[in-house]
Amino acid sequence: MSSENAVPGNPLGKLDFRATSDDAWYSVMVELDGDIMRLQYCGFSEEHDQVFKASDFKSLSEVDDFEARFRPMSVQVQDSECSKVLQGDVVCTAFSFQHEDVRFYDALVEGVEHREHASKQGQEENEEEECLCTFILLWIHGPNAGNLTATSVESICRVQSSAQIDPKVASFLNIARERFLRNGAPVLISINDESPNINHKLSFFQCLKQEAGHAQLFVNTISEGGIGNHPERTIDEDTDFGGVENQSDNKGSPYVGL
């Protein structure tokens, strides 16, 4: 994320993108050049950028699946905003594999144990409050999927719902869909009144290319304005009510790629 604080509406043009390799959400920016889209991972060097071509998709369903991996940038819940997190909400939550490997996955809020907030020490003017509430989460995806854990507010980001997709992503998806429809979809034909057969008039899209030798992504900083940001506080280990074991074996987030 950028050093500036993002605000609702996301003027910085950042999005959340869910990777296929580890199922985690990453903050990204998108650049579009004709039928080529470049995905830039916020907080990582250019060598981690990923390039997609509209011609890489082999079916319309793949285009739809790719679209579902984007959403507006999630917003970090601040201490004074904990009351906005309600039972039944879907939130984007930090999961620590080890100290410098924190990734973000969706979870369902099963319950909230509200506690009186404390005052942050050293704040004589404009005293800030510290949330001491506990959030019970049911993980939706990722390595802890299906497990219940208890966590605190600094690990939680609110998922932003929006009916409108990012304009650059929308343009890229339109190009991909138009190419598929223009090339022709499978057509059902009937021969001698027998059961229909599928006649592939033209070939489908080539499979999505997966580049070799990509460097690994490591989430080792918590940046401001979105996924993982919580000023002056660290992410505590979740209390696990039946979580996965041996997470220390994961050495970092692999390069995300389709």
Query: pLDDT tens for residues 129-166?
Result: 899 999 999 999 999 999 999 999 999 999 998 777 89
Q: Tell me what pLDDT residue 181 has.
A: 80
Average pLDDT over residues 176-204: 51
Residue 49 reports pLDDT greater than 80:
yes
Which carries the bigger pLDDT value, residue 186 or residue 70?
70
Q: Within a domain: residue 9?
A: no
Q: Within a domain: residue 8?
A: no
Torsion angles phi and psi, residue 82, rounded to 5: -60, -25
Query: pLDDT tens for residues 209-230?
Result: 343 333 334 343 334 455 644 4
For residue 14, give every residue at least 6 positions away whose Cβ sits within 8 Å of its Cβ, in sequence order, or none: 1, 2, 6, 27, 28, 29, 42, 73, 225, 226
Vertex 138 angle, CA 85 and 64, to 5°:
90
Average pLDDT over residues 164-187: 82
pLDDT-based confidence at residue 185 (cuts at 50, 70, 90): low
Q: Within a domain: residue 135?
A: yes
Long-range contacts of residues 209-212, Cβ cutoff 8 Å, at least 24 apart: 209/53, 209/56, 210/257, 210/258, 211/257
* Its pTM surpasses 0.95: no
Q: HSE (CB half, 13 Å, CA atoms) of 189?
A: 9
Residue 255 reports pLDDT greater than 90:
no
Q: Within a domain: residue 256?
A: no
Torsion angles phi and psi, residue 41, rounded to 5: -85, 120
Torsion angles phi and psi, residue 109, rounded to 5: -75, 110
Average pLDDT over residues 170-188: 77
Q: Is 40 left (phi over 0), alpha (psi -120 to 50) or beta?
A: beta
Average pLDDT over residues 190-219: 36
Q: Within a domain: residue 42?
A: yes
Query: pLDDT tens for residues 225-245?
Result: 556 444 444 444 455 555 444
Structural domain boundaries, residue 141: 15-249
Q: Tell me what pLDDT residue 227 has.
A: 63
Q: Within a domain: residue 37?
A: yes
Average pLDDT over residues 175-180: 88
Q: How many domains does the chain have?
A: 1
Average pLDDT over residues 45-69: 93
Q: Within a domain: residue 142?
A: yes
Residue 249 reports pLDDT greater than 70:
no
Length of the chain: 258
Q: Within a domain: residue 234?
A: yes
Residue 184 reports pLDDT greater than 90:
no
